[in-house]
């Protein structure tokens, strides 16, 4: 790691955004979430806690905003001034969007967060010094800070609860940022198995914990580069392109027939998660 190396990387950081000249090789992980199927049940969130060694922080710390739900269900109402919330709620699973031009990557003072070759936003715990600038910059507020040393905090993992911890995921100590990883530990295993067999990962061979739990199958996850994968077909169908900050279909006035969109796309983060708009029946 020389100074020239550093300068080059820094310059890359600042100018990096996905482009057709530098396509992903072999894997680009992406997700698609159907908001019309999401019932807001929170199964995905609890599954994430189980898979990724998330601490349950308790009431007081939760009230301070120190909860650790890497995947949270945001619940919105759209009642205007009606007497009742008579069209139900809008549930939105929100997690790290693994932005291709992640605002968090450029501001880490120690370079603990970078972009991987397969399109994920990586977080390296042992490099993180806890400046918390990354979450300040994240428009989705998808990053979480370990304000306390949870492994040694009473009642977080009292014996024998620590036996449930997943050895494939670091148990974070105090002072580091963490966030959704698209279950990178599962992806690594799947890629390794596929490589040993001399092939790429098939669609559906690896599932993130949230996707695997979701009772309605609202979450779709896979390799955007594989044209046969469900997620690639969905992005294609919805005419959402990864490396565009404005989709061509949105410019068309009558482009109402497609439900796919990305959140806060205009901030040019190029997120890897596409959402499908919730629907409501007009006849009732």
Partner 1 sequence: MIENSFNRRDFLKVLGWGGATVALSGCGNTSVEDGREYVTSYVETADYIIPSIGTYFNSTCAQCDAGCGIMGRVREGRVLKLEGNPDSPINSGKMCGLGQAGVQAHYNPDRVREPLLRNGDKGEAITWEKALQLVSEKVASANPGSVAFLTGGVSGHVKVLLKNYLDAIGSDRHYVYEAVAPSVVRAANKKAYGVEMPRLRLDRAKVVVSFGADFLGTWVSPVHFSRQYAKFRKGVNGERGVLVQVESKMTITGANADRWLAIRPGTEGILALGLVNALSAAGLTVPAEVAAAVKDYTLDRVSNDTGVSVEHIGKLTALLKDRSPSLVIAGGAAEGYAHGSQNAAAVALLNQVLGNVGKTVEAPASMPFPQMAPITGNRSSLQALNDSIAQDGVKVLFNCGANPIYSAPASMNMKESLKKVPFKVAFAHYMDETAMEADLVLPLNSSMEDWGTVVPEYFAEGAQLNIQQPLMEKLHPGTLGMGDVLLALLKQRRPAEYNGYEDYYAYLKNAMVAIKGALGGENEDDDVFWDSVLSQGVVKLTSSSNALVSSASAAGLQLPPPAAEDGTYPLRLIPAVTPNMRDGRHANEPWLQESPDPLTTIVWDSWVEMHPKTAAKLGVVEGDIVEVASKNGAIKGQVYVYSGIHPDVISVPLGYGHEAMGRYSKGVGANAFKILDPVFDQQTGELAMYETRVKVTKAGKRVIVVKDEGPAGGNQSGRRIALRMASGKVNLAEEV
Partner 2 sequence: MYRFLRLSVLLVGLIAAVGSVAVHAAQPLTTADDLGPVVDQPIEFPHDRHAGDAAKGGMQINCMYCHTYARRSNVAGIPPLQKCIGCHRSIESVRETPRIKKLFEYWEAKKPVPWKKVHDLPDFVRFNHERHIQRFVFAQEKPVQEACGYCHGDVKTMTVARRQKPLSMGWCVSCHQKDHPVSATSTKTTHGPNDCWQCHK
Residues 9-48 binding partner 1 (CB under 8 A) are 10, 35-37, 39-43, 45-47
Contact set for partner 2, span 195-254 (CB under 8 A): 195-196
Query: Is residue 283 close enough to count as binding partner 1 by CB under 8 A?
Result: yes
Helix (H) or strand (E) holding 59: helix 59-63
Please report the sign of the dihedral spanned by the C-alpha atoms of residue 171, residue 176, residue 178, residue 184.
Answer: negative
**Long-range contacts of 197-205, Cβ-Cβ distance < 8 Å, separation of 24 or more:** 200/26, 200/27, 200/226, 201/27, 203/228, 203/229, 203/230, 203/231, 204/230
Query: Is residue 179 close enough to count as binding partner 1 by CB under 8 A?
Result: no
DSSP letter for 58, please.
-
Contact between residue 113 and residue 68 where contact means Cβ atoms under 8 Å apart: no
Q: Which is nearer to partner 2, 126 or 163 (CB)?
A: 126
Judged by CB under 8 A, the stretch of 17-25, 58-66, 165-173, 247-255 that binds partner 2 is 165-173
Contact between residue 37 and residue 265 where contact means Cβ atoms under 8 Å apart: no
- Give the residue, chosen from 30, 214, 225, 240, that forms a contact with partner 1 under the rule CB under 8 A: 214
Residue 203's binding partner among partner 2, partner 1, none (Cβ under 5 to 8 angstroms by kind) is none
Query: Is residue 46 close enough to count as binding partner 2 by CB under 8 A?
Result: no
- Give the residue, chosen from 73, 89, 156, 171, that forms a contact with partner 2 under the rule CB under 8 A: 171
Number of residues that bind partner 2 (CB under 8 A): 23
- Ramachandran sector of residue 203 (left: φ over 0; alpha: ψ -120 to 50; beta: rest): beta
- Give the residue, chosen from 50, 117, 129, 264, that forms a contact with partner 2 under the rule CB under 8 A: 117
Half-sphere exposure of 210 (CA within 13 A, CB side): 31
Query: Is residue 247 close enough to count as binding partner 1 by CB under 8 A?
Result: no
Judged by CB under 8 A, the stretch of 18-26, 114-122, 145-153, 207-215 that binds partner 1 is 207-215
Task: Specify the 3-state DSSP secondary structure of 92.
Answer: strand
| Dist CA 268 CA 261 (whole Å) | 13
- Give the residue, chosen from 87, 122, 137, 207, that forms a contact with partner 2 under the rule CB under 8 A: 122
- Give the residue, chosen from 194, 241, 261, 268, that forms a contact with partner 1 under the rule CB under 8 A: 261
Angle at 70 between CA 94 and CA 170, to 5 degrees: 150
Judged by CB under 8 A, the stretch of 19-27, 95-103, 176-184, 271-279 that binds partner 1 is 271-279
**Which residues here bind partner 2, judged by CB under 8 A?**
1-3, 114, 116-118, 120, 122, 124-126, 168-171, 181, 184-185, 188, 192, 195-196
């Amino acid at each position: 790691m020389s100074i020239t190396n550093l300068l080059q990387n820094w310059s890359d950081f600042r100018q990096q955004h996905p482009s057709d000249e530098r396509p992903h090789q072999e894997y680009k992980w992406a997700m698609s979430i159907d908001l019309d199927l999401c019932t807001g049940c929170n199964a995905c969130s609890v599954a994430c806690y189980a898979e990724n060694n998330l601490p349950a922080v308790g009431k007081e710390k939760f009230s301070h905003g120190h909860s650790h739900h890497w995947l949270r269900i945001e619940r919105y109402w759209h009642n205007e001034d009606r007497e009742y919330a008579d069209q139900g709620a809008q549930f939105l699973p929100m997690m790290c969007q693994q932005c291709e031009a992640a605002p968090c990557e450029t501001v880490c003072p120690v370079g603990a967060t970078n972009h991987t070759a397969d399109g994920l936003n990586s977080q390296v715990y042992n490099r993180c010094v806890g400046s918390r600038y990354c979450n300040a910059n994240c428009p989705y507020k998808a990053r979480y800070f370990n304000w306390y040393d949870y492994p040694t905090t009473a009642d977080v993992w009292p014996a024998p609860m620590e036996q449930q911890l997943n050895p494939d995921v670091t148990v974070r100590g105090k002072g580091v940022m963490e966030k959704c990883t698209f279950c990178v530990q599962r992806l690594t295993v799947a890629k390794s198995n596929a490589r040993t067999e001399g092939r790429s990962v098939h669609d559906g061979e690896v599932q993130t914990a949230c996707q695997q739990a979701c009772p309605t199958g609202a979450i779709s996850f896979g390799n955007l580069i594989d044209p046969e994968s469900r997620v690639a077909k969905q992005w294609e169908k919805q005419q959402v392109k990864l490396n565009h900050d404005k989709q061509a279909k949105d410019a068309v006035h009558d482009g109402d027939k497609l439900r796919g969109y990305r959140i806060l796309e205009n901030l040019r983060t190029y997120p890897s998660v596409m959402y499908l708009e919730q629907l409501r029946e007009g006849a009732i």
